[in-house]
Chain A
Amino acid sequence: MQRIGVFICWCGSNIAATVDVKRVAEAIKAEPGVVYSADYQYMCSENGQQLLKNAIKEHNLTGVVIGSCSPRMHEATFRRAAAEAGLNPYMLEVANIREQCSWIHKDMDEATEKALILIRTAIAKVRLNTPLQEGESPVTKRALVIGGGIAGIQAALDIAEAGFEVDIVEKNATIGGRMAQLDKTFPTLDCSACILTPKMVDCAQSDKIDILSYSEVEEVKGFVGNFKVKIRKKARYVDEKKCTGCKVCMEKCPSKKGLNEFNMNLNNRTAIYIPFAQAIPNVAVIDPEQCIKLKTGKCGICQKFCGAGAINYEMKDEFVDREYGAIVVATGFRPINIDAFNEYGYSDNADVITSLELERLMNAAGPTNGVLLRPSDKTHPKVITFIQCVGSRDVSGCGKPYCSKVCCMYTAKHAMLIREKYPDTEVHVFYIDVRTPGKNYDEFYRRAVEQYGVDYIKGMVGKVYNENGKLMVQGSNLIDNEQVIIPSDLVVLATAIEPEPSVRKIATLLTASIDTNNFMNESHPKLRPVESPTAGVYLAGMCQGPKDIPETVSQASACAAKVIGLLVKDKLKTNPCVAHCNEMMCNGCSQCANVCAYGAITYVDKEFRIGGGKTEVRRVASVNPAVCQGCGACTVTCPSGAMDLSGFSSKQIMSEVEAICKR
């Protein structure tokens, strides 16, 4: 037999002025199951809580209803008090008779009657409440960072700084990412390598950080605090431990015609190579598509010349299994393919290049050693025209609907650097809008115009064509309302950026969601911007949306803070108001997993007795309570009603409905 206690709070005059609390407390005594009823001035006060605790003990209460302010205010307070008195805190319900009753009604009779109904409704619910226990799950004190660009590096360094072990999985042969390819960085114009490479070295030297380069995440199991990850270490045909990075192999390799990805294919590299001078790890890798030995079996020159004996043509992909408590996704971006923008003549003219290609052409370690020479004839371009928004803000289907965010700033940077280095060069920039919000950003852009005399033209380019060796850039100048044709030597396209496509696979592995543009979804756009909806998975950098280096670094550090906050805990407390599956009724139809935003539902084959001494194997759903957030989407999808939600069960809600509708 249930023994329910009801407590009506006056909240000073906040409730008592409109609701006749005495009458309510009196009337409620007649409710079946109610053994105690009281009213008090401030239930949330020390004395009020003591009243509650005493009553629970004295009257052996099995359930409690508090008629007071919103449960969003003091539900936690009252539940704590109940627990202190030995009652399971989830056996307590709050009826909101202040915000949703006394404060909005003036007529005392009306408000009193409504308060009665609200309390009866809460009693109806509490009758069906069951004691719930917060779960616990252990935390593996190690983090995984997927992607070794600036976002991954920063997150890893910050996590390691707090004393936790962290692995960086990078699919390329070196960490560094896109930032390593950049020449200078806005708005300060410091050299990208100069600020990045020390951080790369820090990673390599940290005893807390393990860099798994040339590796990819293959499989993810488990959940927050307990991820089990399988990592594929791709065969690099060079023993990482033996290679000294002496580069003799690169000098001797006869296969020299591979496209140098690091230099945006603007020059060639050998089949065995180290991507760039400051690579971490500073270890060679063999491109199996290009290596003569691996393709034909004949050659083996690098092996002959390697003093360290590091070359191993027999190497196979290896798999490493590791466990982590938290995962940071930092997979980065790439420029979009601009084949669909033939009007700019990119595919037909060597001297129409993308901004990232220009970065390499300006970089001292690039194919031209930092001397700006145009690709076609290696001469100094005298007139350079930049075209912004190539593929950004494009809903025609050729490009991307979003603003890529970084192009305005890097174009201003390029224009400025060129004018600084080669003052005799004429620089034009076609723009739709110049978007430079941020500290010292607009000042930076204005400097390009005011100090360096860069010609900004408000308008878009309609066509770039080659005429008598010049690139004719035909576009509109909307301010002067004229069509201009600028004979140029070099045309630079500010290409839109998109998430690195491997993020799709990562998102699937992590059961994290991605949006229509392949950016990873954050848990809340304003309040939880670095957390993925999947608990224990955090997002840093471009994988979540277009952003520049300062923003990326901030987000990476924010991720690290979240990860540290998780890893310092020994055990994770789990919300007990989560979904659970009644296996006897589950069809195993997979409908519920379709709507679970957290990937909390998996399916297992289980044997059931079906009478007559027989058994049968059925597929049934199983909810991981550590991952489930308790939204209830699955409960409605389930046709058999096998899925239910603790704390908000179907029967509880129906009993509330009945109590309200009873006339």
Chain B
Amino acid sequence: MQEIKEFVPNIVAFCCNWCSYAGADLAGSGRLSYPANVKIIRVPCSCRVNPMFILKAFQRGADGVILCGCHPGDCHYVTGNYYTRRRMAMLFDFLNYMGIEKERTRVEWVSAAEGARFSQVMNDFVKKITELGENRRITDLRVKEK
């Protein structure tokens, strides 16, 4: 008999070096847990995240992608996250327009002091994606009959 495996989503989190990555470290120092399936990639600024990275993550099997940066107005690079905000707003709505569930993409502003919030955001995001289930759509957007 086949074992029914509980669905564990795969989550990629891009965190800016100055606020959110430090926020994640603070969550760690405070032992504020969040699921192990969240893996963080460190980038200098949220504005370094190219939509291609997000698409690549989905295409390679990520079930959710979350981008974290300094709060607008607090960017270490002055204006970087303002551009992130516009790019991601446009990209997310566009992906949704293509039929990708809007819950799969997310941007959160987490400061270096918000360790608790970082953990809460990740728990919340993982819960949402778990409910949503496996990401099937984007991998076969251009369908190939198998």
A residues lining the B interface (CB < 8 Å): 70-72, 96, 98-101, 103-107, 110-111, 113-114, 117-118, 121, 513, 521, 523-525, 533, 577, 595, 597, 629-633, 635-637, 645, 648, 650, 653-654, 656-658, 660-663
B residues lining the A interface (CB < 8 Å): 10, 12, 17, 21-22, 24-29, 31-34, 36, 39-45, 47-53, 56-57, 60-62, 74, 76-80, 83, 87, 119
Chain A residues with CB under 8 A of B33:
104-106
Q: How far is the CB of B18 from chain A (nearest CB, A)?
A: 9
A632, B78: Cβ atoms closer than 8 Å = no
B36, A662: Cβ atoms closer than 8 Å = no
Cα-based distance from A662 to B25 in the complex (angstroms): 24
B28, A100: Cβ atoms closer than 8 Å = yes
Cα-based distance from A72 to B45 in the complex (angstroms): 15
A657, B53: Cβ atoms closer than 8 Å = yes
B56, A632: Cβ atoms closer than 8 Å = no
Residue of B nearest to A512 (CB): B78
B36, A113: Cβ atoms closer than 8 Å = yes
Q: Which of A106, A648, A663 contacts B48 (CB 8 A)?
A: A648
Chain A residues with CB under 8 A of B60:
657-658, 661-662
- Could you name 28 residue pairs across A and B whose Cβ atoms are closer than 8 Å? A72-B25, A99-B24, A99-B25, A99-B28, A100-B40, A101-B36, A103-B28, A103-B31, A117-B39, A118-B39, A121-B39, A524-B74, A533-B77, A533-B78, A631-B48, A631-B76, A631-B77, A632-B45, A645-B44, A653-B48, A654-B52, A657-B57, A657-B62, A658-B56, A660-B12, A660-B62, A662-B60, A663-B10
A632, B10: Cβ atoms closer than 8 Å = no
Given A103-B31, A595-B79, A597-B78, 11 more pairs with CB closer than 8 A:
A104-B27, A104-B31, A121-B39, A597-B80, A635-B50, A636-B83, A645-B44, A650-B50, A653-B50, A654-B56, A658-B60
Cα-based distance from A98 to B24 in the complex (angstroms): 11
Cα-based distance from A629 to B77 in the complex (angstroms): 8
Q: Which of B42, B52, B119 contacts A104 (CB 8 A)?
A: B119
Cα-based distance from A96 to B15 in the complex (angstroms): 13
Chain B facing A: main interface SS: mixed
Cα-based distance from A106 to B33 in the complex (angstroms): 9
Chain B residues with CB under 8 A of A101:
28, 36
B29, A103: Cβ atoms closer than 8 Å = yes
A70, B76: Cβ atoms closer than 8 Å = no
Contact A635:B48 (CB < 8 A) given known A104-B34, A657-B56, A660-B39: yes
A632, B44: Cβ atoms closer than 8 Å = yes
Q: Which of A107, A513, A636 contacts B78 (CB 8 A)?
A: A513
Q: How far is the CB of A631 from chain B (nearest CB, A)?
A: 4
Chain B residues with CB under 8 A of A117:
39
A636, B87: Cβ atoms closer than 8 Å = yes
B41, A657: Cβ atoms closer than 8 Å = yes
A631, B40: Cβ atoms closer than 8 Å = no
B12, A661: Cβ atoms closer than 8 Å = yes
Cα-based distance from A246 to B5 in the complex (angstroms): 97
A661, B57: Cβ atoms closer than 8 Å = yes
Cα-based distance from A663 to B39 in the complex (angstroms): 13
Cα-based distance from A107 to B34 in the complex (angstroms): 12
B39, A631: Cβ atoms closer than 8 Å = no
Residue of A nearest to B10 (CB): A661
Chain A residues with CB under 8 A of B51:
636
